[in-house]
Chains A and B, each alone.
Chain A
Amino acid sequence: MPDRATLIEAQIPGLRRFACALLRGDQEAADDLVQDTLERALSYWNLRRKQDNPRGWLYTILYNRFLSEQHRVRRRGPHAALTEDTDLPGIEGGQHSALEHRDLLRAFAALPEEQRAVLLLVGVEDASYQEAARVLGVPIGTVMSRLSRGRERLRRSIYGELGQNVRQCNGPLRRVK
């Protein structure tokens, strides 16, 4: 059995990615959130369900910390809330896809919080639908409906106004698999 440091450390890259995406690219705030999560995980290590992989547990702690922090920010007033001007990640990639990334991330950042969380856990963090339900503390049916609504909303905001054109000229649908 690996020790707790090893088990926790293995999850840090994923936790940072999840935190940074939840916080719309604010890496500094994301690392604060991850640090808070890790400190709590170390404090409560003996209280986790022993049979589980700590991954889901760590994501659960992080998401709960994120929610309570958001709650505090909202109560503190709108000036402290994150704005859409926050730098989005992935723009400096210098890839041909940089612009597409930017549009996608902007559209993604505008999704309701609960839909973003599901899209990230399932689509980026490779959580099973069941795992995502546990992390978010909702039934699996709710995960599926948030997934469905989130994906459709994202699609509309990206392809929305172009939708007609794309369809007419048999648009360039990339199947990225």
Chain B
Amino acid sequence: MRAASRPIEEDDLQGWVDGRLTPEQAEAVETYFAAHPEAKERWSQYAAQRAGLRAAFAENAEAPIPARLRVSRLLAERRTRRYRQFARIAAAIALLVAGGIGGWAAHDLLPGLTSSASAVLASSVFDDAIAAHRTFSVETRHPVEVGANEEAHLVQWLSKRLGRPLIIPDLSGLGFQLMGGRLLPADSGPAALFMYEDDKGTRLSCYYLVADIAGGSEFKFHEQNGINAFYWIEDGLAYAITANMPRDRLLKIAEIVYQQNSAGGAKAKLPPAPGKPS
């Protein structure tokens, strides 16, 4: 890697502190220290600090793992939560179907529903989401700005731009892998788009827009020249799930996205420390 005669550099010395050197490199550093006792003193202090920190923090790793951090328990909780959400979704879908059959009367029974403002919002979100889907789903080279390989950055960035924590849905169970996402302009502010693809090349987009409307709404369906979309509002975010696929299949995906977002949203809304049981 490096010639034996090369002068010692700072990185070699850091490597010495961290015990990352080959025997030859370590020997070169020792030779250097023999000629520079003041450097040896300083670097030995770094090594002593490092050992001190390790010792001081060691007990945090040795303490028994509390039950709430057991993976088996977290998995069991997830299953229960999913079941409950599924029941909630099923109820919402039943209302949606009833609404379709029974006409608009059913709408008035649902809380926080079709005011004219939210109807306007719905139609503009549909338009924007479908336009974005049309534009970017046909892109082969640049369908997204930030790829799935930088997912942590993607979610941080878009959450910051929309001013609220976003959740990137995991649709792998339905065969859709995240490709990435992008930021988009919309009338009322920035919007986020996450793009997915299945192994047949079908693309699906999840479009999020901040909506200053309290409460939630039911699922709405819209079709435009072969592109289908489901839309709903929950906790101040408008969602649109858009793809060129049959309505039934798209609805299943919309349900999953809804479930995952409700789960995350509920957690994010927990009150700060004072109310928390210790």
Q: Is B45 within 8 A of A43, CB to CB? A: no
Q: Is B71 within 8 A of A35, CB to CB? A: no
Q: Which residues of B contact A4 (CB under 8 A)?
A: 71
Q: Which residues of A contact B148 (CB under 8 A)?
A: 47
Complex: how many Å from CA A47 to CA B191? 23
Q: Mark A149-177, 1 if CB is under 8 A from B, else 0.
A: 00100110011000000010000011111
Q: Is A173 within 8 A of B48, CB to CB? A: yes
Complex: how many Å from CA A154 to CA B17? 14
Q: Mark A43-83, 1 if CB is under 8 A from B, else 0.
A: 11011010000000000110010011000000010001000
How many whole Å from B153's CB to the nearest CB in chain A?
A: 6
Q: Is A101 within 8 A of B55, CB to CB? A: yes
Complex: how many Å from CA A129 to CA B41? 24
Q: Mark A112-132, 1 if CB is under 8 A from B, else 0.
A: 000000011011100011000
Chain B interface helix/strand/loop/mixed: helix
Q: Is A5 within 8 A of B48, CB to CB? A: no
Q: Is B47 within 8 A of A5, CB to CB? A: no
Complex: how many Å from CA A167 to CA B41? 9
Q: Which residues of B contact A148 (CB under 8 A)?
A: 10, 14
Q: Is A90 within 8 A of B57, CB to CB? A: yes
How many whole Å from B123's CB to the nearest CB in chain A?
A: 32
Q: Is B51 within 8 A of A176, CB to CB? A: yes
Complex: how many Å from CA A38 to CA B273? 20
In the complex, whether B66 has a CB less than 8 A from a CB of chain A is yes
Q: Mark B66-79, 1 if CB is under 8 A from A, else 0.
A: 10111110110010
A173-B41 contact given A68-B159, A90-B59, A124-B54, CB 8 Å threshold: yes
Complex: how many Å from CA A120 to CA B54? 9
Residue ID in chain B nearest A44 by CB atoms: B170
Q: Is B56 within 8 A of A68, CB to CB? A: no
Q: Which residues of B contact A39 (CB under 8 A)?
A: 74, 78, 267
In the complex, whether B32 has a CB less than 8 A from a CB of chain A is no
Complex: how many Å from CA A174 to CA B50? 12
Complex: how many Å from CA A97 to CA B168? 46
Q: Size class of B's contact patch?
A: 35 or more
Q: Is B53 within 8 A of A119, CB to CB? A: yes
In the complex, whether B232 has a CB less than 8 A from a CB of chain A is no
Q: How many A-B residue pairs have CB under 8 A?
A: 149
Q: Is B170 within 8 A of A151, CB to CB? A: no
A147-B75 contact given A28-B278, A108-B53, CB 8 Å threshold: no
- Interchain CB contact (< 8 A) of B45 among A30, A64, A159: A159
How many whole Å from B58's CB to the nearest CB in chain A?
A: 8
Q: Which residues of A contact B135 (CB under 8 A)?
A: none
Q: Is A64 within 8 A of B156, CB to CB? A: yes
In the complex, whether B42 has a CB less than 8 A from a CB of chain A is yes
- Interchain CB contact (< 8 A) of A89 among B14, B45, B60, B170: B60
Residue ID in chain B nearest A177 by CB atoms: B47
In the complex, whether B223 has a CB less than 8 A from a CB of chain A is no
A89-B56 contact given A13-B61, A60-B152, CB 8 Å threshold: yes
Q: Which residues of B contact A158 (CB under 8 A)?
A: 45, 49
- Interchain CB contact (< 8 A) of A12 among B49, B69, B151: B69
Residue ID in chain B nearest A103 by CB atoms: B52
Q: Is A31 within 8 A of B69, CB to CB? A: yes
Q: Which residues of A contact B19 (CB under 8 A)?
A: 177
Residues of A within 8 A of B (CB): 4-5, 8-9, 12-14, 16-17, 20-21, 27-28, 30-31, 34-36, 38-39, 42-44, 46-47, 49, 60-61, 64, 67-68, 76, 80, 89-90, 93, 97, 100-101, 104-105, 108, 119-120, 122-124, 128-129, 137, 144, 147-148, 151, 154-155, 158-159, 167, 173-177
The contact sample of 8 A-B pairs, CB cut-off 8 A, is A20-B60, A21-B57, A39-B78, A43-B170, A68-B159, A68-B165, A80-B272, A175-B44
Residues of B within 8 A of A (CB): 10-11, 14, 17-20, 41-42, 44-63, 65-66, 68-72, 74-75, 78, 148-149, 151-153, 156, 159, 165, 168, 170, 172-173, 177-178, 260, 267, 272-273, 278
Task: Known pairs A17-B61, A20-B57, A144-B14; list 9 more (Cβ under 8 Å).
Answer: A5-B72, A12-B65, A43-B260, A80-B273, A105-B53, A120-B53, A144-B11, A148-B10, A174-B48
